[in-house]
Amino acid sequence: MNTVALRPPWRLFSLSAPAHFYRATEAVSPLLWATCLVLAAVGLWMGFVVAPTDATQGEAYRIIFIHVPAAWLSMVLYLAMAFWAVLGWAWKVRMASMLARAIAPTGALFTVVALWTGALWGKPTWGTYWVWDARLTSELILLFLYLGYLALVESIDEPRRGDQAGALLALVGAINVPVIYFSVKWWNTLHQGATVSMNAAPKMAGTMLTAMLLMTLACWAYAFAVVFARARAIAVEREAEHQWVAALTRPMEKSA
């Protein structure tokens, strides 16, 4: 059997082939994990040591350094999942559908983190862990959409049919993302407005904002690393009998 030749990395479209995707993402994985750890360490140090105590919320506000990045990632990952799912459905791009499936658990994780940290932040500031306000409820619906997508694609034995059904659900559910984002504008909610706005000055101290943005970048690096790892696993599962997977297993046998 022939081994797969690597194409130059700048040819991004070559990544739609599972063999190239596998090798490219495996190569960048250590860099992503290192980036995640360094940014998280610096972000937490800034958030807990450098950033001052908030005048109104006291130390409770420090939950923001994980709550806001998790909430942002939960929404962006859903849109990414829907994008790749639809791309795989409409153009039959194998790797796109696998990527959509790989994103879903990580998106669900960040949604759980956003809800959990939000509840723990809500208790000392609002006096309650949960209220059925528009922002919280729409974020909870996002979690159900992730779980529904995962349940749907895993319940269908034939992967391509599962991908198609999942793509439809992901596409319909995408309408919930702008609802989450604009809920604090459209409805009178208990949740505060946007933490960072493109057309207004930051409402927080510079060190607080820097720490939050560093933690967001750390979460991004984490998401890329773990989604790529899961996508590689899905690619190997689906294409176990392909030559490129057989070529992958040979060096492991020699070293064992």
Partner 1 sequence: MSTLIELGGYGRYVWPAYGLTLALMLAEPWLARRRLARALARARTLEALDR
Q: Is 89 in the site for partner 1 (CB under 8 A)?
A: no
- Mask 182-211, x = binds partner 1 (CB under 8 A)? ------------------------------
Q: Are 181 and 127 contacting, i.e. CB atoms less than 8 angstroms apart?
A: no
HSE-CB of 10 using CA atoms within 13 angstroms: 0
Residue 170 neighbours by CB distance under 10 Å: 28
In whole angstroms, give the CA distance from residue 232 to residue 23.
9
Q: What is the gyration radius of the CA atoms in the chain, in angstroms?
A: 21
Residue ranges of alpha helices (H) inside 49-189 are 64-91, 94-126, 134-155, 159-173, 176-186
| Residue pair 177/142 in contact by the 8 Å Cβ criterion | yes
The size of the interface with partner 1 (CB under 8 A), counted in residues, is 40
Q: In whole angstroms, give the CA distance from residue 137 to residue 145.
A: 12
Q: Given candidates 105, 148, 159, 162, which one binds partner 1 under the rule CB under 8 A?
A: 105
Task: Determine, following the binding rule CB under 8 A, whether residue 53 of this chain makes contact with partner 1.
Answer: yes
Determine, following the binding rule CB under 8 A, whether residue 106 of this chain makes contact with partner 1. Answer: yes
What single-letter amino acid sits at 2? Answer: N
| Span of 58-66, 136-144, 156-164, 202-210 interacting with partner 1 by CB under 8 A | 58-66
Binding mask 120-159 for partner 1 (x = CB under 8 A): xx-xx-----------------------------------
Q: Which tokens is 204 given? A: 């927080």
Indicate which single residue of 59, 151, 186, 202 sits in contact with partner 1 (rule: CB under 8 A): 59
Under rule CB under 8 A, residue 162 binds partner 1: no
Select the residue interacting with partner 1 from 15, 39, 43, 62 (CB under 8 A).
62
One-letter amino acid for residue 222 of the chain:
Y
Shortest CB 233 distance to partner 1, Å: 4
- Residues engaged in binding partner 1 (CB under 8 A): 48, 53, 58-60, 62-63, 66-67, 70, 105-106, 109, 112-113, 116-117, 120-121, 123-124, 222, 225-226, 229-230, 232-234, 236-237, 240-241, 245-246, 248-250, 252-253
